Structure 1
Amino acid sequence: MFKIIVDLFLLVIIQVAITPFIRRLAFVLGAVDNPNARRVNKKPMPTIGGLGIFVTYNIGTFILLREQFPTHELFALLLASSVIVLTGMIDDILELKPGQKMGGIFIAAMITYFLAEIRMTELNIPFTGQTINLPWYLSLPITIFWILALTNAVNLIDGLDGLAAGVSCISLLTMGIVGYFFLRNQGLYVPIACLMLAACLLGFLPYNFNPAKIFLGDTGALYLGFMISVLALKGLKNVTFISLLVPVIILGVPISDTVYAMIRRKLNKKPISQADKHHLHHQLMNLGLTQRQTVLVIYALSLIFSFVSMLFLLSPIWAMVLLLVGLLIAVELFVESIGLLGEKYKPLSHLINRLVLHSTHTKEPDVEVWHQGEAKPRKWQERSKGGHKPAEKNSGKKQ
């Protein structure tokens, strides 16, 4: 274990050393992110930072910690991740269409399924104890969808300096802890791989945090999303309902942002693949936060999701249900408060307001008091004109 810790620190140092070379290579290749209407950077910024992470991680797997990884899976994942990195680099240099990027991810997912043989094969039905063996015609689309969805979720959140790298680092550290303490049925392969990738990101963040010197680019965002999806899938090879929810909760920030982006574009009758400036980080900045403050807020949200995921594994069934319901309500209220789906879309907030107002509103009795001989109040006179006149007490005078 001591050797593993030392090698993780060594990976951080290697990443710190290699990133400046990747930065210069980006300028040579023309992988530069120029400012435009959708960008927040004000000057040309070198991208393909993910190439350095890819190189450093494979130095760790093929040299430093080679004995921890099975040979067949190691080479199959190298091939699949190389397809992802190549797709990202082409996009960073030439800018691919969304369908072309999805094609690259799909090829990598197919390699993962057929060559690495990392796939969902069983599904445990919650509260029944029954297990379903998934046939290939269910296992294949579920596996492909999982990889496509998580890869794109991480890619979509990559909009500010250090955002995708930091959120991915928090998620990977949490996955490593969860894998080591709760899901060791697959051995130490998954937690070690998660911690190695997190170490690479720790070495990259000093160059990527605001003010950034280099961007992850699609090279890095796609690679991180792909590796997180595959490592989560590897730990969930025999899937239970509870363990299936854990990585979804850990990746709550990018997944929520992606889901609400799809809903927002559907509500506005726009193509789901069409980019916009209404993502989570955009909305937080519209509230007046700086880039750095926005990133730190989203880091905090990621830590909350990670903490909830660990509570989830330590809780009994009834507490898990309460945690999940509470988390969903909290996410919806937060989304409505920052206007992620638009200023007018606040159904849960409006429902809560109506319930609160209804419970606190009590109708006071309609009592009017006046002294004998004084003019009657206006309301009484209006009622008298309307034909409804309450009985008066006899004052002793003739009527």
Structure 2
Amino acid sequence: MLYLTLVLAFIASIVLTPIVKRLAFRIGAVDRPNYRKVHARIMPRLGGLAIFGSFVIGYFILRPEESISNAVEPAFIPISTAILIGALIITVTGVLDDMYEITAKAKMLGQFLAAAIVVVGGGLEISFINLPFGGELDFGYFSIPLTIIWIIGITNAINLIDGLDGLAAGVSTIALTTLAIMAFIMGDPFVMSLAAILAASSIGFLYYNFHPAKIFMGDTGALFLGFMISVLALMGFKNITVVALIIPVIMLGVPISDTFFAIVRRVREKQSISAADKSHLHHCLLNIGFSHRQTVLIIYGIAALFGLAALLFSQATLWGGILLISVMLIAIELFVEVVGLAGKNYRPLINLVKLIGK
């Protein structure tokens, strides 16, 4: 039944996206080019509405049941209901932003409400972690704020990488596929089903969103995907060891690292953390000579490597995991240095990378 549901979710996304495209033009949910944008013509956004609709269709066709491991106490409503309500709130927030470009505070309010529904209403929270060398770290009163910060942080991280055709949708699909595989390994059919349905919906949307894009997902899609990924990652790895808690961080390595470097960059330059710029990873790769399509595919590859590393990390011993993290940190630093050198007109380096890519 799951395979049939995935096919139907994919088809639903294929069918709904052109309808949403026409709706976007009709209601004025369009993205106009400016100095910070890569595209040069008016583009319809709101595409995330097609992803959301396809996901809802797939969910109600399959109706995945929560297992005992998904049940959390105390909860006012079932976690599945909380997720759907939170997803609706975050999607409405995105739709309003795509239509009217609401303020950052209004968007943050929508994100907070969506997260609070899942955390307070559904009871999903990181209440404690078991330390690797014995003992337990209980977050106490900080568990709810920390969980809400996680959800809002990942939601915005996905939103920040939505700068090129197909980038956010593709990276999200890779993260969701990794989540589905991980949930399958851990014997969690509920998380596996939701992640797989959402991945199928995103792939259908990518048919129209990959370069050259016919429609953008807009904040509707970026916020919805970020919210769902953050919640599903929490459901799979709550109340466990420090080592296991690192798995979703590795899995979401691309958006998290890009967001981290953006914050460091803006603090160093004494700018607002929410200020927009053209120094994200995809901008840097474009600036050093890669084409639009090549840049997106390179970041896809990096995201896939992070996903593979997360899978390996989940099966590794403690010291093996520490070694893997060390290698990854070194690799990230080397990559940052390579991009920095290339940005200073080290053209032979870029030509070599392009040659390898062929």
Question: TM exceeds 0.5?
Answer: yes
Matched, 1:65 2:62: yes
Deviation at 1:148, TM superposition (A): 1.0
Deviation at 1:75, TM superposition (A): 2.3
Matched, 1:87 2:93: yes
8 Å contact from structure 2 (residues 238, 245) kept in 1: no
Deviation at 1:69, TM superposition (A): 4.6
8 Å contact from structure 1 (residues 7, 65) kept in 2: yes
Please tell me whether Structure 1 or Structure 2 has the larger radius of gyration of its CA atoms.
Answer: 1
Return the letter of the residue paired with 1:154: I
| Aligned counterparts of 1:241 and 1:179: Cα–Cα separation in 2 | 18
**Which residue matches 1:138?**
142
Matched, 1:75 2:73: no
Matched, 1:157 2:161: yes
Q: Which runs of structure 1 show a deviation greater than 4 angstroms over 4 or more consecutive aligned residues?
A: none
5 Å matches for 1:207-356? 207-339=208-340
8 Å contact from structure 1 (residues 168, 224) kept in 2: yes
Which one of 178, 200, 204 corresponds to residue 182 of structure 2? 178
8 Å contact from structure 2 (residues 243, 318) kept in 1: no
SS, match of residue 123 in structure 1 = strand
Matched, 1:199 2:205: no
| Aligned counterparts of 2:57 and 2:314: Cα–Cα separation in 1 | 33
SS, match of residue 160 in structure 1 = coil
Deviation at 1:311, TM superposition (A): 1.3
Return the letter of the residue paired with 1:73: I
**Which residue matches 1:33?**
31
- Alpha carbons of 1:106 and 1:67: their partners in 2 closer, same or farther (altered >3 Å)? closer
- Kindly indicate whether structure 1 or structure 2 has the higher relative contact order, using CA contacts under 8 Å at least 6 residues apart: 2
Deviation at 1:172, TM superposition (A): 0.3
| Aligned counterparts of 2:313 and 2:84: Cα–Cα separation in 1 | 33
SS, match of residue 238 in structure 1 = coil
8 Å contact from structure 2 (residues 66, 80) kept in 1: yes
SS, match of residue 270 in structure 2 = coil
**Which residue matches 1:364?**
none
Task: Give unmatched runs, 5+ long, in structure 1.
Answer: 344-399
| Aligned counterparts of 2:139 and 2:218: Cα–Cα separation in 1 | 36
Matched, 1:46 2:47: no
8 Å contact from structure 1 (residues 123, 131) kept in 2: yes
8 Å contact from structure 1 (residues 173, 198) kept in 2: yes
| Aligned counterparts of 2:147 and 2:281: Cα–Cα separation in 1 | 27
Return the letter of the residue paired with 1:111: I
Deviates more, 1:10-19 or 1:211-220: 10-19
SS, match of residue 60 in structure 1 = helix
**Which residue matches 1:98?**
104
Which one of 114, 126, 146 corresponds to residue 120 of structure 2? 114
Deviation at 1:68, TM superposition (A): 2.8
Return the letter of the residue paired with 2:36: R
| Aligned counterparts of 1:53 and 1:238: Cα–Cα separation in 2 | 30
| Aligned counterparts of 2:57 and 2:65: Cα–Cα separation in 1 | 13
8 Å contact from structure 1 (residues 88, 222) kept in 2: yes
**Which residue matches 1:124?**
130
Deviation at 1:67, TM superposition (A): 4.3
- Over the residues paired in the alignment, what is the CA RMSD in angstroms? 1.5
Return the letter of the residue paired with 1:78: L
SS, match of residue 239 in structure 1 = coil
Deviation track 1:266-298 (CA, whole Å, cap 9, x = no partner) reads 111111111000000000000111111100000
| Aligned counterparts of 1:169 and 1:298: Cα–Cα separation in 2 | 13
| Aligned counterparts of 2:311 and 2:64: Cα–Cα separation in 1 | 29
Identical amino acids, percent of aligned pairs: 49
8 Å contact from structure 1 (residues 61, 69) kept in 2: no
Deviation at 1:99, TM superposition (A): 2.2
Deviation at 1:245, TM superposition (A): 0.7
TM-score (norm 1): 0.81
Q: How many equivalent pairs are there? A: 334
| Aligned counterparts of 1:304 and 1:65: Cα–Cα separation in 2 | 30
